[in-house]
Amino acid sequence: MFSVRGVSKHFENRDRKPFSALQEIDLDIQAGEFLSIIGPSGCGKTTLLNLVAGFIKPTTGVVLKEGVEISGPGPDRTMMFQDYALFPWLTVADNIAFGLGAQKLRRKERDARVNHFISLVGLDGFDKAYPAQLSGGMRQRVSIARALAPDPDVVLMDEPFAALDSLTRDRLQEELLAIWSRTRKTFLLITHNVEEAVFLSDRVIVMESRPGRIRSVIDVAIPRPRFPEIRVRDPLFLNLKHEVLDLLGGVTRAAERH
């Protein structure tokens, strides 16, 4: 679905000195794939996500969707953020419906779609609640529903569970997998959590910084559906987790030497 070809991205710091956030990135993202990107802070993970979203353009190289260069944001790509980004003055239903405004749906069709996604994320009965009345996990469910409601081809997620407690995060990961299995959307996740990356993904991209580039691509050959107990009992899961941790340790040591 997406192809990143020879992409580099340069910025200027406060002294107007250029620095390289990404260098010579080559990556293919398959339709229906759940792909995670992990790496140390400053390795360009979010920059890469923003390039796929079309928020920024590469300095060199090209990002393609189905062979066509991405020139800006589009309704085929939706973004989820760490801070929920919900409108506090809108109800759950209205927050989810907000992204449907550009589709010019009839009210009956819009309401049916909103109700479908409220049920999909387990928020039945909370359609008239406001964000301030919800827990952090419930707010993030609203964010998931809002990202899915416009029926995008790909959902881009920038550390969406980082601010949650571990129990809520684990539960939402399991629910996200269930949603992915039903919708078969393409998901691209940025995370600092190794266990999260391995549990959710078909592949894990390990990045290194200074400048940001891909160090390794790990295939997660764990059968689906995946159940919570594999986090502590499945030898393949534990081996993959340690493999990613070892790679990240090598990345950190290399960065310290520089």
What three-state secondary structure class fits 23? strand
* Assigned domain for 108 exists: no
Residue 6 counted as domain residue: yes
Measured CA to CA, the distance from residue 84 to residue 140 in angstroms comes to 6
Q: What is the pLDDT of residues 123-164, one digit of tens each?
A: 999 999 999 999 988 998 999 999 998 889 999 999 988 888
What is the CATH number for 66? 3.40.50.300
The one-digit pLDDT tens for each residue of the chain (258 residues) are: 899 999 999 987 777 677 889 999 999 999 999 999 999 988 999 999 999 999 999 999 999 999 999 989 988 999 988 777 899 999 999 999 987 876 778 888 889 999 999 998 989 999 999 999 999 889 989 999 999 988 899 999 999 888 888 888 998 999 999 989 988 899 999 999 999 999 999 999 999 988 899 999 999 999 999 999 999 999 999 999 999 999 998 655 555 555
Range of the domain at 32: 2-76+152-257
pTM exceeds cut of 0.75: yes
Query: Is residue 253 in a domain?
Result: yes
Q: How many domains does the chain have?
A: 1
Question: pLDDT digit string (tens) for 11-30?
Answer: 877 776 778 899 999 999 99
Tell me the C-alpha to C-alpha distance, in Å, between residue 175 and each of 82, 200, 225: 17, 10, 12
Residue 56, both tokens: 């920024």
Q: Do the domain assignments include residue 210?
A: yes
Does 52 map to a domain?
Answer: yes
Q: Is residue 231 part of a domain?
A: yes
Q: Is residue 30 part of a domain?
A: yes
Within the chain, residue ranges assigned H as helices are 45-53, 92-98, 107-120, 136-148, 166-183, 194-200, 230-233, 235-257
